[in-house]
Amino acid sequence: MKRIAVFASGNGSNFQSIVDSIKDRKLEAEVSLLVCDKVGAKVVERAERENIPRFVFTPKEYESKAHFEQDIIEELRQNDIDFIFLAGYMRLIGPTLLKEYEGKIINIHPSLLPSFPGKNAIEQALEAGVKVTGVTIHYVDEGMDTGPIIAQKAVEIDAEDDAKSLAQKIHQIEHSFYPAVIHKLLNKTI
């Protein structure tokens, strides 16, 4: 069984959907570590409830990204991590971690990349006036949301949608789509 780490910075709803998919036997894996860069984030409480080991750090306390990424690598090694799945982790992955886990770091993003990369993708889509946005799952490289695309799913934007309602529609898709794609990746069917 593959041992995975989930990196998150906030609420952790995608983290929870991965954990729940494992419990429901829709995903054969073990979440062996949560990595979080925000002390007090709700995702940390979720991991505690699920008895999942946690590495929570404060980036400002480190000399550089390379230094905290080296500590992350040590935690990943101690927990025998095979793959990393980003789920609302709001930091670019640096060369230290990319080199160590090349081709094994996957991200989920709330748009149909390459449109609307980076922060505030939902707001960017609304401001652009597009009628369709969506969810992209992609490999992580050194750029911001520029890695090779693994899978995408479209979400229609209705005239009455605002940032909150569109975010809810996107999260609803993410919570089933991400675990399903992870399952395919781990079983090498995608």
Give the structural domain span for 10. 3-109+136-153+175-186
pLDDT tens-digit series, residues 12-35: 999 999 999 999 999 999 999 999
Phi, psi of 58 (to 5 degrees): -115, 110
127-140 as b/e: b if 16+ CB within 10 A: eeeeeebbbbbbbb
Give the residue-averaged pLDDT of 61-65: 96
Cβ atoms of residues 1 and 28 within 8 Å: yes
For the chain, give the mean pLDDT.
97
Q: Is residue 65 part of a domain?
A: yes
Q: Is residue 29 part of a domain?
A: yes
Active-site residues, by number, are: 109
Q: Is residue 17 part of a domain?
A: yes
Q: Is residue 128 part of a domain?
A: no
Q: How far is CA 107 from CA 14, 15, 157, in A?
A: 11, 12, 23
Q: Is residue 162 part of a domain?
A: no
pLDDT tens-digit series, residues 75-100: 999 999 999 999 999 999 999 999 99
Cβ atoms of residues 6 and 182 within 8 Å: no
What is the structure's pLDDT at 156?
98
Q: Is residue 181 part of a domain?
A: yes
pLDDT tens-digit series, residues 106-130: 999 999 999 999 999 999 999 999 9
Q: Indicate which CATH number applies to the domain containing 47.
A: 3.40.50.170
Q: Is residue 39 part of a domain?
A: yes
